Structure 1
Amino acid sequence: MSNDSQLPLLAILSPCVGVCQLDPRGYCLGCYRTGDEIARWRGMSDAERSHYLNEVLPARESA
């Protein structure tokens, strides 16, 4: 018998792809985060990280 409420939650990982250089706008060329966002990433809630991964960073990438 399975108890899904006991499954471990997975942490939202960093979007870093190892290309760590900021463009003239201050966005990383690899993950599109600012230096401040990179520094704060580990302290962000899962909800905030999810917001960045699903909305903020894709919008920057397509701009």
Structure 2
Amino acid sequence: MIESPCIQVCVIDPASRLCTGCLRTLDEIAAWSAMPPETRRRIMAELPARKPRPG
């Protein structure tokens, strides 16, 4: 099974263009299954920094 950050909350924020559930871009989501594991791991490591900051 391919590791994924998907949490089944698939809503794209119009301002950031990121999924509010997994914080990936539409392009990343679309290409996810074809990406090499190293690329998926790199993106998953970047996701916490994409989380919106309060305020």
Q: TM class, shorter-chain normalised? A: 0.7 to 0.9
Deviations 1:19-61 (A, max 9, x none): 000002110000000111000000111110110111x211101
In the TM superposition, what is the alpha-carbon distance from 1:14 to its structure 2 partner?
1.1
Of the three residues 32, 36, 52, the one matched with 2:27 is 36
Runs (5+) with no aligned partner, structure 2: none
1:58 and 2:48 matched: yes
Moved over 4 A (4+): none
CA–CA distance in 2 between the matches of 1:33 and 1:19? 12
Identity %: 46
- The aligned counterpart of 2:36 is 45
Task: Return the letter of the residue paired with 1:17.
Answer: I
TM-score by length of structure 1 reads: 0.73
The unaligned stretches of length 5 or more in structure 1 are 1-10
The root-mean-square deviation of aligned C-alpha atoms, in Å, is 1.5
Distance in structure 2 (CA, Å) of the matches to 1:61 and 1:51: 16
Number of residue pairs matched?
52
Structure with the largest fraction of helix = 1
